[in-house]
Structure 1
């Protein structure tokens, strides 16, 4: 049993288990997620922390197999080492963590995801298909005439759940899904996939690929010369992935997200300035996945302020209507799901040109 100064120090802190990928296809985001987490902690502690307690984080590798991530979170929760859990990680990891934290500590899940999370104590601050993918498909139909889509996804929860929603959107928007293919997370043969795409009667490819998998697909897509005749759209593409893909491999690539580094709003520009001031110009690229971790910590702080308690029951009671201003503009929870502005952008070399707010 922990006693003495160590226990007093822990009690004086609000400790958050930040589950972020340090390996695997999404490990590309890890350095940026860690760097911006440090910024969020710095800001919160400059404003008296959470409920008057200093904020501290415990990094958990969300790129490990889901059962290993859940086991590590369980150890932290059972030791009383964390007061909350947050971070960017894939949906299969969320499903593994959910029963571990149930009824114990608040869990702000920050990634875009397939939607539909209803379990008590899980608060989702990321984008969902209805407000991210559907309006982008409408814009691409109306402005570029893209009506026939081929879906390429990793073979796990988020791509399959999102594709079910996309089929509904296709019916509503008079679009066609002309093919689907799924690859093993971190192990797919992208040359095989691009050959399938090349043979399909489609105008565009809807990418539901994570991190390095999307990078490998972009390279294979360009090597086949498919960017000369097909549009690509992804709800998960950020600046690190552009850099890793290479500018030649991202022509005609459209992305919808709640945040881009190139957003020219006051709060977004303030975030970029603060990030560079803290970490310097050589900091890991600021991107959507990392910024979502910033959102998660600030959402926890606002929830705690509104609940006026660290208790999970009080968080559950306070969630509906909780709102704050940040780099994404106004973020407001409607039940357990946050609503936020979503923007459409097109890749422009190693950055994004934001076209419109959807």
Structure 2
């Protein structure tokens, strides 16, 4: 249901309304089809299983890819109209902060992706990983197994990358590795030249990427064209399947990701296959057809978040979800293969 339609009609009897705050525009918009697909799958499965205390689950979409104030205003209007029982979604952290401030603990908020850590806002539940939990084991594995000792930290200039860089500095220091450069850039189309020059000048043998969405894709494409891909390790805490497809895959053997889930091809990598991930992809295909979008880490988080939200609203199933198992995977063509131990 559209947000304004929900605001006008208000709360519907016999229905649980879930505000689905996901990026339909902006840098993370490439993940929208996956997120919408798995959100409708989760809502449909919950409804078929009896719903929440007998009430069907209905989704109300809010575009979380806009400016924080705009997203917050939409959520505030929905809350004032009594149109929402809970809000679930992912976005950049500046947007999530705006949503949490507006809800102010009066409506539950389940934030699903990796987050910046720190104090949790009243009424909010974060089911993703903190920067340290997500990156520590991956950094350690790369330092020990790929001899990645000179690091450049490159990210977008907002809350989550800043927190990732703080955590990475501490981890790398303890591992005896060096941070030889750091750059935070604004959102949006930008010349990747200065970042590439920093990697070259610094003599880095590894780059930690906390760019997100479209900006991450743009940089990785430029990185490959510059001929750096085979000699400089890249690690990202935001690269997922849609992003890997968008850069055209990778066959350098030096592009790594530490997101909570990866889809591996069963026939090609039976030992690395995540059976739960593949089962989820099969259920999505049965729900949405053979052209269903790929199950990516962001979308899987939304699926889990809607189920967690149902638990919050239904005391019979109210349990705190376990944090996702963070893994290190190498991009191999258009799939990820797990290579490191679980964090």
Asked if these proteins are the same fold (TM beyond 0.5), I'd say yes
Q: Residue 63 of structure 2 corresponds to which residue in structure 1?
A: 61
What aligned pairs does 1:297-336 form with structure 2 within 5 A after superposition? 297-305=306-314, 307=315, 322-323=319-320, 331-332=321-322
CA deviation map 1:27-78 (0-9, x unaligned): 1111111111111111111111123211101010011111000000000011
Residue 269 of structure 1: which of 278, 289, 300 is its match?
278
Can you give the 5+ residue segments of structure 2 that lack an aligned partner in the other structure?
Answer: 265-271
Measured after TM superposition, the shift of residue 281 of structure 1 is 2.4
SS where residue 281 of structure 1 aligns?
A: coil
Residue 43 of structure 2: which of 35, 41, 44 is its match?
41
Measured after TM superposition, the shift of residue 255 of structure 1 is 0.5
CA deviation map 1:239-265 (0-9, x unaligned): 111111113586511011211122624
**TM-score computed with the length of structure 1 as normaliser:** 0.87
1:221, 1:249 within 8 Å by CA — same for their partners in 2? no
Measured after TM superposition, the shift of residue 355 of structure 1 is 1.9
Q: In 1, distance between residues paired with 2:252 and 2:27?
A: 18
Question: Does the C-alpha gap of structure 1 residues 239 and 24 become closer, same or farther in structure 2, counting only changes over 3 Å?
Answer: same
1:218, 1:249 within 8 Å by CA — same for their partners in 2? no
Q: In 1, distance between residues paired with 2:72 and 2:252?
A: 35
CA deviation map 1:135-172 (0-9, x unaligned): 10011112111122101101111111211121221222
The number of equivalent residue pairs is 328
Looking at secondary structure, tell me which structure has more strand per residue. Answer: 1
Q: Residue 267 of structure 2 corresponds to which residue in structure 1?
A: none
CA deviation map 1:292-314 (0-9, x unaligned): 11011011122333x359xxxxx
Question: Does the C-alpha gap of structure 1 residues 160 and 297 become closer, same or farther in structure 2, counting only changes over 3 Å?
Answer: same
SS where residue 77 of structure 1 aligns?
A: helix
Bigger drift between 168-177 and 232-241 goes to 168-177
1:183, 1:189 within 8 Å by CA — same for their partners in 2? no
Q: Give the aligned CA root-mean-square deviation in angstroms.
A: 1.9
**TM-score computed with the length of structure 2 as normaliser:** 0.91
Q: In 2, distance between residues paired with 1:268 and 1:158?
A: 26
SS where residue 61 of structure 2 aligns?
A: strand
1:113, 1:126 within 8 Å by CA — same for their partners in 2? yes
Bigger drift between 260-269 and 191-200 goes to 260-269
Q: Residue 313 of structure 1 corresponds to which residue in structure 2?
A: none
What aligned pairs does 1:1-358 form with structure 2 within 5 A after superposition? 10-248=12-250, 251-262=253-264, 264-305=273-314, 307=315, 322-323=319-320, 331-332=321-322, 339-356=323-340, 357-358=342-343
2:250, 2:331 within 8 Å by CA — same for their partners in 1? no
2:240, 2:259 within 8 Å by CA — same for their partners in 1? no
Q: In 2, distance between residues paired with 1:153 and 1:250?
A: 22
SS where residue 179 of structure 2 aligns?
A: strand
Q: In 1, distance between residues paired with 2:260 and 2:177?
A: 24
Q: In 2, distance between residues paired with 1:58 and 1:17?
A: 5
SS where residue 282 of structure 2 aligns?
A: helix
Q: In 1, distance between residues paired with 2:303 and 2:309?
A: 10
Measured after TM superposition, the shift of residue 270 of structure 1 is 1.8
SS where residue 198 of structure 1 aligns?
A: helix
1:260, 1:288 within 8 Å by CA — same for their partners in 2? yes
Q: In 2, distance between residues paired with 1:117 and 1:176?
A: 29
